[in-house]
Amino acid sequence: MIKYDAIFLDRDGTINFDPGFVQNVDQFKFYDFAFPALKVLSQHGNNFCIISNQSGVGRGLIDISDLRELNAFIRREFINNQINLLDIYNCTDHPNEATNRRKPGTGMFLEAADDHDIELKRCLMIGDSERDLIPAHFLGMDTMLVLTGNGHLTLDNIAPSDKPTFVVENILEGAKMLVKKFI
Ligand SMILES: [Mg+2]
């Protein structure tokens, strides 16, 4: 397939349950369909980056060491499933003092492009919130809205200018659709 230089993944509500703020590994649970989806895409040559706002750190709700431990857990799970995770980017800014790193800012995407020599115009962003779609759209990427997490709410409220390229029930349905469409 390899239509995309890289596939960017939102985290909460896209590849794992979103209970509000995931504070540590114990509260983190991948959706059952997440790795089957990533395997389908991975087998067709795609690489992944996770791009996730984690304002819980800036709000004092999440300990940065717990977030690091969670990231190490996520990396191990990707390795165990033989999926090429290029990197994990988190923005820990409090929303009231947000830099351009915090989605819908483009900062984390630009960092990833620089770190891994990624051509953003040849990428896809998969997420459940408008703030996942806005920066991706701005950067010329394809966008996929999943109807897990905040997905339904997002679909009901999205600005016509940020209409996603694809809308799918969940990331597994999205993966199957992409393979069918581009293989
Ligand atoms: Mg999300």
Active-site residue set:
10, 12
| CA 126 / ligand 1 centre spacing (Å) | 9
Closest to 125 measured CA to CA, from 111, 141, 146, 147:
141
| CA 42 / ligand 1 centre spacing (Å) | 21
pLDDT average, residue stretch 1-13: 91
Residue 51 pLDDT: 98
| CA 15 / ligand 1 centre spacing (Å) | 9
Residue 87 pLDDT: 98
- The DSSP H or E segment spanning 77 is helix 64-80
Residue 3 pLDDT grade (very low, low, confident, very high; cuts 50, 70, 90): confident
| CA 168 / ligand 1 centre spacing (Å) | 15
Query: Peptide bond before 104: cis, by omega within 30 degrees of 0?
Result: yes
- The DSSP H or E segment spanning 146 is strand 142-146
pLDDT tens per residue across span 59-101: 999 999 999 999 999 999 999 999 999 999 999 999 999 999 9
Percent pLDDT > 90 in the chain is 95
Residue 2 has pLDDT above 80, yes or no: no
Backbone angles phi, psi at 108, to 5 degrees: -70, -35
pLDDT tens per residue across span 37-48: 999 999 999 999
Residue 183 pLDDT: 72
Residue 1 pLDDT grade (very low, low, confident, very high; cuts 50, 70, 90): low
pLDDT tens per residue across span 130-166: 999 999 999 999 999 999 999 999 999 999 988 999 9
pTM recorded for the entire structure: 0.97
**Local structure of 29: helix, strand or coil:** coil
Q: Which CA distances in Å does 49 have to 7, 40, 73, 161?
A: 6, 16, 15, 25
Q: Which CA distances in Å does 139 have to 11, 84, 150?
A: 19, 23, 22
- The yes/no answer on whether domain 7-182 falls in CATH 3.40.50.1000 is yes
Burial of 30 (0-12, 13-18, 19+ CB in 10 A): middle
